[in-house]
Chains A and B, each alone.
Chain A
């Protein structure tokens, strides 16, 4: 019985771990210039949970790759974007890394050309 409980606990832990987002992708209005991007990047890097930040002006995208087992709540993200002077449109959590995301954007842009 104890073995069964331990196995159940391990399964739940793995499931939660897998469900944990690795990267937070945010759609942000008002992102049009390098200084906008610089300000948002600085803000997002100030979170202890942040590992990498990607700002893409063409897609109005701010992506924050999180450190292991870390997360930033939607409420904190909303405050951070608003307090930086921009408007948060949507938040999506994905398993992709920021480098995966960069590669995907580059491929899409190449395909458009």
Chain B
């Protein structure tokens, strides 16, 4: 019964997506997650989710994408569902596969009015108290555009944090955009800090632009 419910939720989620920060889209059951990301001038995003259970969350996202010269810009509002499709719990590690989807409305400077948009994505991650790795693919489409963002993150903790203490991570990120938003791979080096339910990270991209993210779980 549980797997049927999960499969149904996964199917529902398979309808759309948004470009979220590379944190986990579900923190814990009966928890609320609020995230905001500034991505090197290329993307800005705000998200809010509530997770009734540890394996799914529901909420909304607002995404702004902008090409380097400003020739193309997108503003996309999405209602979104996230599903933890699979989790592996190990004695000192955890691995997850998340999927998400949603539908929304998009506006842009190279098409008129607003268009129905759809969003779908997947993330796989592996984490210990020392290392973090994630792969993520995120697609948002409307009649006038199709953008995909593929991301990889590799993180290293200089010390193993304990609950209640400050966790520090150094994260290397690579991000590839399609759909004429950014050519090539945008690399960034980030310093990630979290304590309790608060997560903040900031760094610079390879072309010297600021990237920053904040997330709050409660």
Binding site for B on A (CB under 8 A): 28-43, 55-58, 60, 83-87, 89
Contact = CB atoms under 8 A, between A and B. Distances in A.
Contacts of B31: 38-39, 42
B29 A84 contact: yes
Contact of B196 (A34, A36, A43): A34
Interface in B165-198: 167, 194-197
Interface stretch (B61-69, B70-78, B156-164): B156-164
B163 A32 contact: no
A83 to B, nearest CB: 7
A108 to B, nearest CB: 13
Nearest to A89: B91
B89 A39 contact: no
A38 B196 contact: yes
A50 to B, nearest CB: 16
Given A35-B24, A36-B28, A60 B55 contact: no
A85 B84 contact: yes
B163 A57 contact: yes
Interface of B: 24, 27-31, 53-55, 84, 87-94, 127-129, 160-164, 167, 194-197, 217
Given A35-B28, A38-B197, A83 B54 contact: yes
B53 A83 contact: yes
Nearest to B93: A32
Given A32-B127, A35-B217, A87 B163 contact: no
Contacts of A33: 94, 127, 129, 167
A113 to B, nearest CB: 12
Contacts of B87: 30, 85
Contacts of A60: 91-92
Contact of A32 (B84, B92, B197, B217): B92
Contacts of B160: 57-58
Contacts, number: 85
A12 B165 CA distance: 44
10 contacts: A32-B94, A32-B127, A33-B127, A56-B163, A57-B163, A83-B54, A84-B54, A85-B28, A85-B55, A89-B91
B114 to A, nearest CB: 35
B23 to A, nearest CB: 9
A34 B194 contact: yes
B29 A36 contact: no
A29 B161 contact: no
Tell which of B24, B84, B92 has the most Cβ of chain A within 10 Å.
B92
A52 to B, nearest CB: 13
Contacts of B90: 29-30
A35 B54 contact: no
A47 to B, nearest CB: 14
B20 to A, nearest CB: 15
B58 to A, nearest CB: 17
Nearest to B194: A34
Contacts of B54: 39, 83-85
Contact of B161 (A31, A57, A85, A89): A57
Contact of A42 (B28, B84, B93, B127): B28
